[in-house]
Amino acid sequence: MSFAELKTYIHQQLSTLYESTEIQSFYFMLLEHYGHYSKATVLVQPENNLPEEVEQNITKSISALQSDLPIQYLLGETEFCTYRFFVDENVLIPRPETEELVDWVYNEYKTHHNSLKILDIGTGSGAIAITLKKLLPQAEVTAIDVSAGALAIAQRNAKANEAEVNFLQQDILTTSSLTQKYDVIISNPPYVRFTEKAEMHPNVLRYEPHLALFVPDENPLLFYRKITELAATSLVHNGNLFFEINQYLAKETETLVRQEGFTQVILKQDLSGNDRMLCCKK
């Protein structure tokens, strides 16, 4: 099978499940992962034939994709802010919106040359914490998560990306206080209400960890409330709290942080035009 024939085959097999642009992305990702072919090679030499082993691996992968398995879990890795991260079903797959949140923090502190203490709450794969450590090497970064499985992946990612991050297993909802002061506290906590399940792709519902996704309809801001309470006493003067937020609860989240005494509240939209990020100052 040639590159061109594979392209036709993968579109035929997946066209009822995925958008054409997404299938095109799968095509390049599978060729890079199993055959180490660059996108340029694939585009310039479409008649190149695949080795039998590579063809078999890609064919099996297409079958897995037909069962809604996210390609990131299939390949065991994903890209976030140009860095490679291992992922499995213990962690959420990092989203482009979260890259925007990290970029916001970086732009706020890229000219800050003094020591900087950052806390990432609910780190998952470690994408936020590790990327901030790479971008702001002067920072002392701590990351916590309730899941031992997630922390194992995060520690593996820190080692692979040569980033020194202090990881702690901790349930934020049962934490009464934090042990030190931070310049920045950042979190992308669970925020999807159960009533919003219908809007989600089946592969998210079937494979990604619900512990990291969902909150009760009757108390959707429970993580934000707890983190804001802790941040109120654990941020230094003029320290910043950054959240990724539920687009449908932006005003409610803003009200919550103001009630805890935070000021200079800024809501920011993602590239899709949804209220997705919030920053406030203590």
Q: What is the pLDDT of residues 156-206, one digit of tens each?
A: 999 999 999 999 999 999 999 998 999 999 999 998 888 898 788 888 888
pLDDT of residue 73: 97
pTM: 0.92
> What letter would DSSP give residue 179?
S
Percent of the chain with pLDDT over 90: 88
Strands 139-145 and 165-169, bridge-based pairing: parallel
Instruction: Please write the tens of the pLDDT for every residue from 21-44.
Output: 999 999 999 999 999 999 999 999
pLDDT band at 96; cut points 50, 70, 90: very high
- For residues 7 and 16, give the distance between their C-alpha atoms in angstroms, rounded to a whole number: 15
The pLDDT, as a whole number, for residue 245 is 97
Q: Is the pLDDT of residue 114 over 90?
A: no
SS3 46: coil
Residue 160 pLDDT = 98
Mean pLDDT of 247-263: 97
Residue 49 backbone phi and psi in degrees, to 5:
-90, 145
User: Given this model, what pLDDT does residue 200 score?
Assistant: 84
Instruction: Identify the pLDDT of residue 65.
Output: 96
DSSP helix/strand/coil, 281: strand
Q: How far apart are CA 58 and CA 74, in angstroms?
A: 11
Check residue 281 and give its pLDDT.
Answer: 95
Give ∠ CA 188-193-194 in degrees, rounded to 5: 135
* Per-residue model confidence (pLDDT) at position 177: 93
